[in-house]
Every structure is written in structure tokens, then in C-alpha cells.
């Protein structure tokens, strides 16, 4: 008797839902705590703490509902054979449109168009509620309903432009890849990731936000001086109008080799003092100087190659396809099914990557501290925690499993500890 792959996948998905719900309940209890953790007493204002607590509890309650609906829908799609039914209907649609349903590329694009429409419809109520109720209630949402839907339209347009060539290329590679399929797939995705990393900030990001050069002044001079002292090849320094959508703040850098750019959210500049913004940039430059970005990129490439290697081992398994209700073996469906069957490994890998990421954050904080930004980084982190109403109380199990960044208490303790060592 063939192994019940589909039932095993659904069973594991439900098991993980219960496990993650247990962690969510632990974190929800932490949100309810009426007092700040001791290390933050006198550091975080009581008013900000109460606002953070209310915001976190609102998001947590919404998260429980969203995750419950998601696991119901995902399980139903697999258990009731909706995936093969949808594949069949997408082929019938092609016939009605006078196109060749035997062409796997056209069939796949028809299928993906239906999936995109379905995803937009089912995600819309949750996105609207999150943006215009929760985020608005707590003072974060700045976008209009028109801007919200305009962003969705632009996202769909980009998918329609970018998606088909990528899908077609993957199908052709799988059909003609032979024994070196995993290498060809990885090579294609590697080149694609480099192209997207190059084009995204230049062509795609400006469709959603306005990027302007940081004006001359103390902040620009301080950042340029810091970059120069570290031989960071800073080519451009931008401010992005994040405030048109949200009052959350952030900063990031991008670019290859000697063509680096730093982007500051206007909200970050509004919320923090000049020296605090510079300290945040010093932290980001620490990631660059310590090669964290390169290590992460290499790790992703290795994992991608291993995933494609695993896919090549099962892509011709008729038992696997039949378990999910398919009589044929389309390339895209094979990739979807494979992704479902390696969910247990993906959870383990995600947990491991979070551990590494948290380690990198501590190292970047230490780097900024060595540059003499300890107090500024400390006050900057506190201010960002307050302004973003981030959770003050965190459950250790929940944060260990979910957080890619250490909780504020741990980061401040690490900065203070290194201070004491030097004293």
C-alpha cells in the first residue's frame, strides 16, 4: 500500500498549529502582564508600556483568529482535493479561451492566476482589518483606502509582468534538466536572486515609495563620516517616505560590491536624535563589516540547492502525486507538493536560522558599541521599541522559536554587560 503522504502532511500541519498556538498562548499571557520587566523599569515610560501592551494584545487576538482560519482552509484544500480540482478547472478555462490546455506552461499560468485571485479574496478581509482597524486604532496606519488598493493593483501588475517568464523558465529547466536538474534550478534561482536584488530597489521599490537623497546637514555628514571610517563604499543615502503608509520606523542598506546604498525611513529620522540614528546605522554597518549579509546569502543558496536536490528525488514519484489527488505530474504541482512534504525540515531550518540571526544581532550591537555608540545605541533601541510599541514582556519559549532579533531586555543586558567588562 502506498504511503499516505497527503494525510501525513495535513496531520503534521495540524500538529504544528497546536504547538504554535501553545506558544502563542504563552506569549499572550506575557502580553497581559501588568508591569514592565525589571530591567526596563525606569527605562520605558509607563504610558508607552500601556500602549504597547494594548497594541500587542490586539494583534495577538487577531493572530489567533487568522491562524485558525488559515489552518482550516489549508487543511480543507488538501483533504477535499481542491488542489487537483483547481488544476483541472484551470485547464478547462484554457479550452474555453481557445488555448491549448496540453501546454504545461499555459496550464500552469492559468492555475496560478486562479490561485492569485483566490489568495487576494481570502486575504483581503484580514489585511483590511489589520491595517484600518488594528494599525489605525493604535496610531500607526497613515494610508488611505485608495492607496491600500492601489498598492494591491501594482502588486498584481508586477506579478503578471514578472511571474510568467520565471514560471516558464522553471518548467523548461525541469523538463530538460536531466541528471543535473538540481544544479540548473539552483543556478537559475541564483541568477534570478541577483537580478531581483539589483532591480528591486531601482525599479520596483520606487513604485510604492518615494526615495529622495538625504538633505545636507549634520545627519548626512555623520553617516558619511562613519561610512568613510569603515571604508564602507557608500554611493547614495536616501530617505524613504514610509510615513505615507505607517508610522513604524526602519533603516536598511543594499547594493553589491562598491555600490552600496543606505535607506532611512523618514519616521526613523522624526523619532530619533541624530546620534541615535547614526548608532542604528553603525549597527547595520556592523552586519556588513562582519560579513553577516554574505553568510546569510550563502546559507540561503546552500538551502536552496538542497531543496532542489530533494525535489529531484521525488519529482517522478507517482505515489506522491496520487496521494494528493493528481493523475498527472505537472512541474509546479510537484514543487508545491514537495514544499508541503518538507514542512518539518523547514521548521527546523527556520529555528536554526533564527538562532544564527539573533547571534548576528548581538555581534552587530557589540560592533556599534566598539565604535563608541553604546549609549546612543541603547537609547535608540529603547526609543524604537517605544515608538513601534513593540512587546516589552516576551515569553522565552515563544521568542526562542519565533524571534530573529533578540528581545530588547537581552540586547540592553548585552550592551550593559560589555560596558561593565570594560569598567
Q: What angle do CA 248, 253, 254 make, to 5 degrees?
A: 130
Helix axes 274-289, 218-229, angle to 10 degrees: 20
Known catalytic residues are 284, 365
Q: Residue 182 in contact with residue 213, Cβ under 8 Å?
A: no
Indicate the DSSP class of residue 16: H
Burial 42-78 (b: 16+ CB within 10 A, else e): ebbeeebbeebbebbebbbeeeeebeeeebeebbeeb
The grid coordinates listed for 371 are 565604535
- Are the CB atoms for 228 and 252 separated by under 8 Å? no
Q: Output DSSP code: residue 130.
A: I
- Rounded to whole angstroms, what are the CA distances from 77 to 3, 98, 118, 124, 228? 20, 28, 12, 19, 54
| Contact by Cβ (8 Å): 232, 244 | no
Question: Residues 388, 249: contact at Cβ < 8 Å?
Answer: yes
β-sheet with 260-265: strand ranges across = 211-213, 234-240, 260-265, 251-254
CA atoms of 110 and 102, how far apart (whole Å):
12
Residue 129, CA distances (Å) to 63, 117, 144, 257, 399 in order: 11, 19, 13, 42, 25
Residues counted in the chain: 423
Round to whole Å and give the CA distance between 362 and 39.
17
Is residue 174 within 8 Å of residue 331, measured between CB atoms?
yes
Cell of 126: 484580514
> And the C-alpha cell for 231?
571604508
Amino acid at each position: 500500500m502506498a504511503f499516505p503522504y497527503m494525510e501525513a502532511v495535513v496531520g503534521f500541519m495540524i500538529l504544528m498549529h497546536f504547538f504554535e498556538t501553545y506558544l502563542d498562548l504563552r506569549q499572550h499571557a506575557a502580553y497581559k502582564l501588568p508591569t514592565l520587566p525589571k530591567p526596563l523599569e525606569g527605562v520605558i515610560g509607563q504610558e508607552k508600556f500601556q500602549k504597547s501592551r494594548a497594541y500587542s494584545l490586539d494583534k495577538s487576538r487577531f493572530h489567533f483568529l487568522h491562524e485558525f482560519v488559515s489552518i482550516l482552509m489549508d487543511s480543507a484544500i488538501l483533504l477535499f482535493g481542491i488542489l487537483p480540482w483547481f488544476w483541472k478547472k484551470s485547464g478547462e478555462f484554457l479550452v474555453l479561451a481557445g488555448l491549448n490546455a496540453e501546454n504545461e506552461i499555459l496550464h500552469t499560468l492559468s492555475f496560478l492566476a486562479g490561485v492569485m485571485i483566490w489568495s487576494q479574496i481570502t486575504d483581503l478581509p484580514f489585511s483590511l482589518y489589520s491595517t484600518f482597524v488594528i494599525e489605525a486604532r493604535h496610531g500607526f496606519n497613515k494610508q488611505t483606502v485608495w492607496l491600500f488598493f492601489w498598492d494591491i493593483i501594482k502588486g498584481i501588475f508586477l506579478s503578471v509582468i514578472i511571474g510568467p517568464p520565471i514560471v516558464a523558465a522553471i518548467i523548461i529547466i525541469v523538463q530538460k534538466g536531466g541528471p543535473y536538474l538540481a544544479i540548473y534550478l539552483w543556478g537559475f534561482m541564483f541568477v534570478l536572486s541577483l537580478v531581483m536584488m539589483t532591480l528591486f530597489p531601482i525599479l520596483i521599490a520606487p513604485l510604492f515609495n518615494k526615495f529622495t537623497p538625504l538633505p545636507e546637514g549634520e545627519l548626512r555628514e555623520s553617516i558619511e563620516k562613519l561610512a568613510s571610517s569603515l571604508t564602507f563604499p557608500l554611493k547614495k543615502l536616501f530617505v524613504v517616505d514610509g510615513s505615507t503608509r505607517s508610522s513604524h520606523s526602519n533603516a536598511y542598506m543594499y547594493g553589491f560590491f562598491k555600490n552600496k546604498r543606505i535607506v532611512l525611513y523618514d519616521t526613523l529620522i522624526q523619532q530619533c536624535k541624530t546620534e541615535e540614528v547614526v548608532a542604528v546605522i553603525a549597527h547595520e554597518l556592523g552586519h556588513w563589516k562582519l560579513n553577516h549579509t554574505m553568510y546569510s546569502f550563502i546559507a540561503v543558496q546552500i538551502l536552496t540547492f538542497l531543496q532542489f536536490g530533494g525535489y529531484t528525488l521525488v519529482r517522478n514519484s507517482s505515489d506522491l502525486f496520487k496521494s494528493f489527488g493528481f493523475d498527472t505530474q505537472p512541474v509546479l504541482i510537484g514543487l508545491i507538493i514537495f514544499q508541503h512534504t518538507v514542512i518539518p525540515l523547514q521548521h527546523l531550518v527556520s529555528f536554526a536560522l533564527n538562532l544564527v540571526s539573533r547571534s548576528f544581532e548581538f555581534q552587530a550591537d557589540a560592533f556599534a558599541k566598539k565604535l563608541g555608540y553604546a549609549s546612543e545605541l541603547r537609547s535608540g533601541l529603547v526609543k524604537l521599541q517605544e515608538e513601534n510599541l513593540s512587546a516589552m514582556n516576551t515569553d522565552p519559549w515563544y521568542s526562542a522559536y519565533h524571534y530573529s532579533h533578540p528581545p530588547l531586555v537581552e540586547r540592553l543586558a548585552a550592551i550593559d554587560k560589555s560596558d561593565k567588562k570594560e569598567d
